[in-house]
Amino acid sequence: MKVRIPPSGVVLVLCVISCSVGFLPHVPARARSPSTARIELYSEAQASGRPDAPAPPLELYAAPRAERRGERKTTLEGDSRVVTLEKEDPFSSPQLQLEKSTGMEDMLRELREIQGSANRTYCILGTRHCSYLHQQIIELLSYALVLSGNHVYTSGAAGTNAAAIRGALRANSTELLTVILPQSRSKQTEDCQELIAEVTQVVQMPENDALSLDVASKRCNRRLVKETEHLIAFAYHDSKTVVRTTVEAKEMDKLVTVMYLD
């Protein structure tokens, strides 16, 4: 009499035979760490009520890592949620902590204003000494603003302003780009004249030709701020002209976003 065993049954039979003979490898139990063993030994002694119970291990008193290092989690709520880990300094001033919190909230508010749905007039100004990476970021920002229907104002200079012009031109909406020159077009550098040749709305200030470029730039920046609603500035902390423009913009109750590159 022949007995047919299905494939699944063959596998089951082979597993039973291998276990009985010892073919399957033995998997050792996971070794306990010394700290775990001490905690378990202390728990067993406490449960049995033995008078010779060992002293509580130090592991029971160990604080979590975040508490040992004095770290705390700070959450800022708004349209977006930001979670940061800050190291707590017991000697820090409460006033300084308040200024840090206020600065973060202001920056979040300004970023939400930038990504708002309503079209605005933006002024992009900044330092001439700008790295290639920063120029790419500025160009992308200007491109995105114009592409979403916002009007971008800037001046004619190398670095930040030139990147803003290139980004706005990439959006193929020349009617949403206005360049205000601090002096006449002929007073600008060859690179600047070549760049603004594609711009249809160029405003010149020939009344400043007799002034130095520094004074003319300050007057030009002041006019740019008056024409727009939101100033986005890229500067170093020692960029006196740009930093001064941000101060004047705040005095005019304009929305100001400053990106320090250092």
Could you read off the pLDDT tens digit of each residue along the chain, which spans 262 residues?
444 545 444 444 444 444 444 444 444 555 555 656 666 666 666 666 665 666 655 555 444 444 444 443 433 333 333 333 334 444 445 554 454 445 566 666 666 666 665 788 999 999 999 899 999 999 999 999 999 999 999 998 889 999 999 999 999 989 999 999 999 999 998 999 999 999 999 999 999 999 999 999 999 999 999 999 999 999 999 899 999 999 999 999 999 999 998 8
Residues 6+ apart with CB under 8 A from 233: 124, 125, 126, 242, 243, 245, 246, 256, 257, 258, 259
pTM of the entire predicted model: 0.58
Give yes or no for a contact between 122 and 228, defined as CB atoms under 8 angstroms apart: yes
Q: Please state, in angstroms and rounded to a whole number, the distance separating the CA atoms of residues 16 and 162.
A: 78
Q: Please state, in angstroms and rounded to a whole number, the distance separating the CA atoms of residues 44 and 187.
A: 89
The predicted structure's pLDDT at residue 149: 93
The predicted structure's pLDDT at residue 126: 93
Strands 177-180, 151-154: pairing kind:
parallel
**Cα separations in angstroms, 58 against 52, 67, 157:** 18, 16, 65
- Find the radius of gyration of the CA atoms of the chain: 34
The predicted structure's pLDDT at residue 119: 83
The predicted structure's pLDDT at residue 142: 95
